[in-house]
């Protein structure tokens, strides 16, 4: 995908600069890349503010997924739309873009970009004092998470090379379409999709403010020209890319000045990530470091162009690794966490076993059982008891009826919604109602894994296989975290 757009003139990182280039790999523009901009042009839309509030539970703190350097209100939230599509929402300060028309124009220009190397920008919202961007949600964390804060295994060298190569291709795609600047490029802006493929966040193409002062990272990592002028240039992006190359090699985020001292002293062993021992040759490591040091030249004109970087990184990628799926290189099977018995039952669509497990769990995992102290409280309690008995005896129609009576009296219980959801599923023709109840349960108790398992089962019954799998993965991950927290 290295040249997806090479037909539109030269890259804006001038290849005529005095740089010795290795032979360039042939650029291939796929049919999908050729047509995708026109195909998706109309898919960019303006979202009503109320819809995004509902999707994020009112921009709740538990839905914040921003990385290092992001401060309120410039945060990123995860959310879920009514059609169950997961989204990421970047929220800007109301003072950053006072003119809603300028914000909308800038967002639309970014929304026209479509590449499988980037997270797609789906739309925006410019309503009242709010300025929001909406993108597709990437479920497998950030490069920073996998590189600096890994829990089970470090990222393999082959995957690290793939990450920076795909990132370089994303930047070339952007510059070939007139987007020369990427604001605050760092390891938190590189995301992984459901198949663990690296994707560049489109949020970084949008300035944090209309005046362009949008470099929020620590000053020790800022390009020299930004420190002098407060502005970034196309060459500043190459400087930040060089820092990412160092991150990939070192496995940690260290100031470029310190890294350059180690490079000048030829102390690459001290700079290299010890987890990479035995995975790469000395020559490959030296080549990556050489690329990084050239990107980090103090004078912007001394830095290489993006085409050079793509060609050099392509040479580092071994032919045998190019065909290996990303999720394999990341050491992941179908699921982020090993499935528990509950998750296994969900995957097998074994609703009877799920019912028995929910009965054993009882109400202890329900974080919000709210009984409103009214004259109807005793009546509500009786309906719940009857529902529980019917649920246990698999008298599903009566369980649904009794639980409905309980909820209609104004009672709130995630467990009741989950049990009614499973009862609807077992009835065989109420998958939509089951999904709605599971969604309501998650809204009450966002970290309760049972609500995600029920969503997975309902989505599968509705023929939404991909969404079902993602809900199962998320439920499994939540359950694993709960188990881990309880043992520490």
Question: What is the set of active-site residues?
Answer: 184
User: What DSSP character marks residue 20?
Assistant: P
Count CB neighbours of 271 within 10 A.
22
- Classify burial at 427, counting beta carbons within 10 Å of its beta carbon; exposed 0-12, middle 13-18, buried 19 or more: middle
Residues 6+ apart with CB under 8 A from 225: 231, 232, 233, 235, 236, 300
124 in helix, strand or coil?
Answer: strand
Following DSSP, what letter does each residue of 393-407 receive, concatenated? TT-HHHHHHHHHHHH
What dihedral do alpha carbons 299, 302, 305, 306 form, nearest 10°?
A: -60
How far apart CA 208 and CA 96 sit, in angstroms, is 7
Q: Nearest to residue 105, comparing CAs of 126, 129, 74, 136? A: 126
Distance CA 388, CA 365 (A): 16
DSSP, res 466: H
CA distances to 69, 90, 182, 191, 440 from 237, in Å: 17, 21, 6, 18, 43
The residues with which 45 forms a beta bridge, in sequence order, are 123
Residues 323, 120, 194, 36, CA torsion sign: negative
Distance CA 58, CA 77 (A): 10
Give the DSSP letter of residue 203.
Answer: G
**6 DSSP 8-state letter:** T
- Give Cα separations from 254 to 116, 132, 241, 478 (angstroms): 30, 32, 14, 32
**Cβ atoms within 10 Å of 371's Cβ, excluding its own:** 16
Contacts of 193 (CB under 8 A, 6+ apart): 119, 138, 139, 140, 199
Q: Are strands 86-92 and 76-80 parallel, antiparallel or unpaired?
A: antiparallel
Residue bearing tokens 């009546």: 379
Secondary element (H or E) of residue 89? strand 86-92
Strand partners, 125: 132
């Amino acid at each position: 995908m290295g040249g997806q757009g090479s037909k539109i003139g030269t890259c804006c990182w001038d290849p005529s600069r005095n740089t010795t280039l290795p032979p360039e790999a042939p650029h291939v523009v796929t049919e999908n890349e050729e047509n995708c901009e026109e195909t998706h042009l109309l898919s960019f839309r303006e979202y009503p503010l109320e819809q995004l509030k509902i999707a994020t539970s009112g921009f709740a703190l538990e839905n914040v997924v921003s990385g290092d350097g992001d401060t309120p209100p410039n945060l990123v939230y995860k959310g879920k739309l009514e059609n169950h599509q997961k989204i990421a929402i970047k929220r800007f300060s109301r003072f950053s873009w006072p003119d809603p028309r300028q914000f909308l124009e800038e967002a639309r220009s970014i929304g026209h970009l479509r590449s499988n190397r980037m997270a797609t920008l789906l739309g925006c919202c410019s309503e009242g004092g709010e300025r929001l961007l909406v993108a597709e949600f990437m479920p497998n964390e950030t490069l920073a998470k996998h590189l600096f804060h890994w829990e089970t295994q470090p990222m393999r060298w082959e995957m690290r090379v793939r990450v920076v190569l795909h990132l370089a291709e994303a930047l070339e795609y952007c510059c070939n379409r007139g987007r020369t600047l990427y604001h605050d490029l760092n390891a938190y802006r590189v995301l992984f999709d459901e198949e663990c493929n690296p994707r560049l966040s489109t949020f970084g193409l949008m300035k944090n403010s209309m005046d362009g002062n949008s470099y929020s990272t620590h000053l020790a990592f800022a390009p020299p020209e930004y420190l002098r002028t407060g502005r970034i240039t196309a060459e500043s992006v190459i400087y930040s890319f060089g820092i990412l190359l160092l991150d990939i090699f070192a496995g940690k985020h260290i100031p470029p000045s310190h890294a350059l001292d180690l490079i000048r002293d030829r102390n690459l062993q001290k700079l290299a990530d010890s987890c990479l021992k035995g995975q790469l040759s000395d020559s490959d490591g030296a080549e990556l470091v050489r690329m990084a040091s050239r990107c980090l030249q103090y004078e912007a004109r001394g830095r290489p162009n993006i085409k050079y970087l793509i060609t050099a990184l392509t040479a580092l990628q071994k032919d045998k690794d190019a065909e290996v799926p990303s999720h394999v290189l990341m050491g992941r099977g179908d699921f982020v966490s090993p499935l528990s018995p509950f998750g296994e039952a969900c995957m097998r669509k074994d609703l009877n076993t799920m019912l028995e497990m929910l009965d054993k769990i009882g109400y202890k995992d329900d974080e919000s059982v709210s009984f409103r102290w009214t004259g109807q409280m005793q009546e509500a309690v009786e309906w719940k008891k009857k529902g529980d008995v019917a649920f246990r005896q698999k008298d599903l129609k009566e369980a649904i009826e009794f639980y409905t009576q309980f909820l209609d009296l104004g009672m709130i219980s995630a467990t009741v919604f989950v049990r009614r959801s499973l009862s609807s599923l077992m009835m065989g023709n109420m998958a939509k109602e089951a999904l709605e109840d599971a969604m309501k349960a998650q809204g009450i108790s966002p970290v309760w894994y049972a609500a995600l398992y029920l969503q997975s089962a309902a989505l599968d019954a509705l023929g939404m296989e991909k969404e079902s799998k993602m809900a199962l993965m998320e439920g499994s991950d939540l359950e694993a975290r709960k188990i881990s927290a309880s043992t520490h």
